[in-house]
Structure 1
Amino acid sequence: MNTETGVTAQTRPSATSSEGPDAHSAPPTRGQMWRHLGPGIVVAATGVGAGDLVATLIAGSRFGYALLWAAVVGCIVKIALSEGSARYHLATGSTILAGWRSLGKWTSWYFGVYVIIWGFIYGATAMSATALPLTALFPELPLRAWAIIAGIFGFVFVWFNRYETFEIVMKILVGLMFIIMVGLAFLVAPSLPDMARGMTFELPEGSLFYTLGLIGGVGGTITTAAYGYWTQAKGWRGMPWFPMMRVDNALAYIVTGIFVIAMLIVGAELLYSAGIALEDSDKGLLGLSGVLEERFGATIATLFLVGFAATSLSSLLGVWQGMSLFFSDWWYQLRGASEGGHEGSGAYKFYLAWLTFPPMILLFADRPFLLVIIYGAFGALFMPFLAVTLLMLNNSERVPAHARNGVVANLTLAGSAILFVVLAVQQVARLLS
């Protein structure tokens, strides 16, 4: 059936290349699935950045374990969103952007304007966040220089490597950040009874902002929709890959959940009990490094900075690669071209450059705090759009009946849509105030 672009899902090229590590493999049996894990690890690494570490640490330092349940609920919400996006890719043989275009041309213009502005702001944010631990580890160069180096490294790496190499590097970074951060949580000796009480859905006074932030922000925003593109780049196509995708996606957010809980433990045990306040920005992580050095020594503090660097760099690389694929597909469908929409295409390289070089202008701003607030407000505007459109698409006739949303998926997506609308209003109100 023709879409509004005038191109059928069967005849147009994929948004990624036709090959991939699993392109010529049969879907694995349950016992062999672990060998094929990958896109979920990529989305987990991309979704957890320095901002998430700060949000979780601050929540733990102010409220102890009381908001542990919010971190768990946030991971469940992200499972539903990324699974819904990937399910549309696999069930229709098309992409989520093709689905959006079928809802009306306004969706394409909304995404196009959004992704251009978002990329400009996020590029500077990601480079600065990656530079913070590198500057602390290697103070010979200033933060601005490390930020530029980080951006250029991401640009060169993604430009010259395809998905398979990209996935391997992301797995290494995830392993590094997971071992260090979870090890740190064990080091501070968490209180199991207090953790259990943190699952009682308590909402302490003054905690609403942090609760909504943990549910809506931790684990990724727009990158959750990129999961379907990474499954395609892996070579997963068609309904037989459903079980593999669901296991991969669930594991991704289990890893994310453990990682987030580990940082909440650090905030609760190391900061809350001692009454230590961190700066409510990425620089607060450097404050934690000082606390760790005072209590455990320079080696532990250095390891934390290495984990911090791995966390920030994995987010940078994930966005540079995944959002370039996303933009490439948008440009391809907007133009109705006969080629493009894959790794290495012209649009892919354009957006990769857009994320890297124009945002460097912002690195020279003396007071970038307003930009951070604008980024928060602007970032919150995408998630309601994603949740609502997934409800529309995955309950429609475009998706085979047995692949449509079930009751649980619909309830989760509807609840997510309401939550993200509240978050968007909150962030916009913060910007206007």
Structure 2
Amino acid sequence: MADRTEPASAPPVMRKAKWRHVGPGIVVAATGVGAGDLVATLLAGSKFGYTLLWAAVIGCVVKIALAEAVGRWHLATGRTLFEGWRTLGAWTSVYFAVYVVIWGFVYGATAMSSSALPLVALFPDGPELKVWGILTGLVGLVFVWFNRYAVFEKVMTVLVGVMFVVVVYVAIRVSPNIGDAFAGLWPTLPDDSLLYTLGLIGGVGGTITMAAYGYWVNAKGWTDIGWLKVMRLDNRVAYLTTGIFVVAMLLVGAELLHATQLTLESGDKGLVDLGDILEERYGAATANLFLVGFFATSFTSLIGVWHGVSLLFADFVENVRGAGGGDGSAREVAAGSRERSLPFRAYLLWLTFPPMTLLWLDQPFAIVITYGVLGAFFMPFLALTLLWLLNTDRTPQQWRNGLLSNALLTVSGMLFIVLCVQQIRDLPW
């Protein structure tokens, strides 16, 4: 394959990175941090106190490296991520097709249930969980169906603001021990903490939606390498915000649960338990505020997946039909038209209606097992294929990985493989 470098006589004009440009990174970070991530972080804090704070910080660095690589691929090559995957062989298309169908079916039910839980707690005399779940799914469907990226980004930013303010407020409310918190920045591994540590580094904020970052970058109007500095600022701000968010939840777990030996129920219901604990300690107003933040966290993940993974699916269908883009001038148009395409809307419907059937099943065992196996493989797939794409002549020479990017992506890939193996081992075969 020939090296597709840009002509030396036409260096790109680099745009100046400004705060007003920030947007797609906030969207991808908020989508990746769901209720399950909050529970995982709380449990790590409740079990080990402040000791694993350093792992949360390293996790943010890992996500910055992954998202930067996705964005750089889109901007430097004039190709979408799925177009890049196709150059690696037909196996990537087969994997993605199987994965995205099964994952979407199960995730749809998970997102609707997670968004419904805080609403049931806030309105105990209202509809039951299944009804709230269906309503949140329908609201997400209508919102994404009738709005374009610009409106979607604004709403996501508002919800992120709610998440951020609420979680930081709760962290301050529990009066964390600042000295112990700073001590937790020194890397240590208590007994039986390895899996919790790996989960904090690799799990929080890491989902298929990281692959959607490049599509949101294009939808924003960033379509060539001249936007690289802007994209990098956007990415760093987003994951620094996420880092503060994750650290705040770990502080809550360490101070409110570890110090008092209180325990939470597993899964998203653990956040409802936390709401009860907050009400007992600090009153109904603090508890209700936390539940609002819980809803914002879950609903941003819902509409983020409804939008971002539908863009990925639409690009997949375009490429299978042989209608994929390939030059930067066409991608801004493609990013807008993709939101109105039949494949985009078909996947929206797939995420919304078939998963509603799972809300009536107590233990959809076989599907959950299949989802767990496939889901565990996506993040190593993303990290390792990015290494492949960004170190070969698929990427112009001057925009390929440097030593730092290669080191972070390699560490990420190995980390996600370990997490993948552990998740498969933990499944109830």
Shorter-chain TM band: over 0.9
Q: Which residue of 1 aligns with 2:330?
A: none
Counterpart mapping for 1:315-330 below 5 A: 315-330=301-316
Deviation (angstroms), 1:337: 3.3
Corresponding letter in the other structure for 2:66? L
Q: Equivalent residue of 1:219, what SS?
A: coil
Counterpart mapping for 1:239-318 below 5 A: 239-318=225-304
Q: Which residue of 2 aligns with 1:5?
A: none
Report if the CA contact (8 A) 2:70-2:81 is conserved. yes
Q: 1:419 to 1:318 in 2, by over 3 A?
A: same
Q: Which residue of 2 aligns with 1:356?
A: 352
CA deviations 1:379-432 (Å, max 9, x no partner) are 211111111110010011121111110001001111111111111111111115
Q: Which moved more, 1:370-379 or 1:123-132?
A: 370-379
Report if the CA contact (8 A) 1:71-1:260 is conserved. yes
- Which of 140, 144, 148 matches 2:130? 144
1:402 aligned onto 2:385? no
Report if the CA contact (8 A) 2:43-2:253 is conserved. yes
Corresponding letter in the other structure for 1:211? T
Corresponding letter in the other structure for 1:75? C
Q: Which moved more, 1:195-204 or 1:229-238?
A: 195-204
Q: Which residue of 1 aligns with 2:413?
A: 417
Deviation (angstroms), 1:221: 1.4
Q: Equivalent residue of 1:323, what SS?
A: helix
Q: Equivalent residue of 1:292, what SS?
A: helix
Q: Which residue of 2 aligns with 1:15?
A: none
Corresponding letter in the other structure for 2:285? T
Deviation (angstroms), 1:371: 5.2
Counterpart mapping for 1:184-223 below 5 A: 184-223=170-209
Q: Which residue of 2 aligns with 1:229?
A: 215
Aligned sequence identity (%): 60
Aligned length: 411
Deviation (angstroms), 1:375: 3.7
Deviation (angstroms), 1:378: 2.6
1:429 aligned onto 2:428? no
CA deviations 1:178-198 (Å, max 9, x no partner) are 001011111111111111221
Report if the CA contact (8 A) 1:75-1:215 is conserved. yes
Deviation (angstroms), 1:373: 5.5
CA distance in 2, matches of 1:71, 1:379: 21
Counterpart mapping for 1:127-138 below 5 A: 127-138=112-123
1:78 aligned onto 2:74? no
Corresponding letter in the other structure for 1:430? D
Q: Which moved more, 1:102-111 or 1:367-376?
A: 367-376
CA distance in 2, matches of 1:373, 1:257: 30
Q: TM-score, normalised by structure 2?
A: 0.92
1:29 aligned onto 2:16? yes
Deviation (angstroms), 1:138: 1.5
Deviation (angstroms), 1:369: 6.7
Corresponding letter in the other structure for 2:402? G
Deviation (angstroms), 1:368: 4.5
Q: Which residue of 1 aligns with 2:144?
A: 158
Query: Where does the alignment leave 5 or more consecutive residues of structure 1 unmatched?
Result: 3-7, 9-25
- Which of 366, 369, 385 matches 1:389? 385
1:98 aligned onto 2:76? no
Q: Which residue of 2 aligns with 1:11?
A: none
Corresponding letter in the other structure for 1:294? E
Q: Which residue of 2 aligns with 1:167?
A: 153
Corresponding letter in the other structure for 1:325? L
Deviation (angstroms), 1:225: 1.0
1:46 aligned onto 2:38? no
CA distance in 1, matches of 2:394, 2:172: 48
Q: 1:256 to 1:91 in 2, by over 3 A?
A: same
CA distance in 1, matches of 2:164, 2:36: 16
- Which of 85, 97, 105 matches 1:112? 97
CA distance in 2, matches of 1:305, 1:29: 39
CA distance in 2, matches of 1:126, 1:245: 28
RMSD of equivalent CA atoms: 1.9
1:87 aligned onto 2:72? yes
CA distance in 2, matches of 1:332, 1:354: 18
Report if the CA contact (8 A) 2:15-2:226 is conserved. no
Q: Equivalent residue of 2:59, what SS?
A: helix
Q: 1:111 to 1:162 in 2, by over 3 A?
A: same
CA deviations 1:343-391 (Å, max 9, x no partner) are 1100000111111111111110023577556544432111111111100
Report if the CA contact (8 A) 2:83-2:324 is conserved. no
CA distance in 2, matches of 1:85, 1:111: 17
1:183 aligned onto 2:179? no
Deviation (angstroms), 1:135: 0.8
Corresponding letter in the other structure for 1:428? I
Q: 4+ runs of 1 displaced by more than 2 Å?
A: 26-30, 337-341, 367-378
1:121 aligned onto 2:117? no
